[in-house]
Amino acid sequence: MSEPTGRRAVHTPRAPRPAGAYSQGVVAGGFLFTAGFGPQDPATGAVPEGVGAQTAQVLRNIGAVLAERGLTLRDVVKVTAHLQHLRRDFAAYDEAYGEFFAEPCPVRTTVGSDLMDILVEIDVVALLPEPYPPG
């Protein structure tokens, strides 16, 4: 199936493969939108213990998708994070998260969600440089 005009999928073997009918990322309208990533190591499938280690792995996974388009976490403008145990794990999640972002930090929404055997899932929106890189 061809991609609609102005929308391009982003794929990398350096992040976990989609577990369903979705892309790792999509470029559209001057932004790169990522899927929600869990903490699976893309090489081994292993999931680290604890929300801090899981948050770090999720952000490395997202960083790999961003890198496919020459971006880094510095280009992220919006983060949506889902925590399995919001009240219990927020402080440890936020501490690990803070290691990956510098001022000005992106805007962020963090919610409690029923996740499938993981503690954290994150998706981001990143701003592409102008002019937008091709394909």
pTM exceeds 0.85 = yes
Domain count, the chain: 1
The rounded distance, in Å, linking the Cα atoms of 45 and 114 is 21
Within a domain: residue 51? Answer: yes
Map tokens 């899927």 to a residue. Answer: 35
Range of the domain at 44: 7-127
The answer to the question of residue 135 being in a domain is no
Residue 2 lies in a domain: no
pLDDT of residue 6: 80
Residue 20 in any domain: the answer is yes
Q: What is the CATH number of the domain that holds 29?
A: 3.30.1330.40
Q: What is the DSSP letter of 37?
A: B
pLDDT in tens, the chain (135 residues): 444 568 999 999 999 999 899 999 999 999 999 999 999 999 999 999 999 999 999 999 999 999 999 999 999 999 999 999 999 999 999 999 999 999 999 999 999 999 999 999 999 999 998 765 555
Tell me, yes or no, whether 134 lies in a domain. no
Instruction: Give me the amino acid identity at 10.
Output: V
Whether the CB-CB separation of 111 and 122 falls below 8 Å is answered with: no
Residue recorded with tokens 């770090």: 56
Q: Assess contact for 42 and 14: CB atoms under 8 A.
A: yes
Say if 110 falls within a structural domain: yes
* Strand 25-28 with 107-112, pairing: unpaired
Q: Answer yes or no: is 37 within a domain.
A: yes
- For residue 130, the model assigns a pLDDT of 78
Cβ-contact 50, 60 below 8 angstroms: no
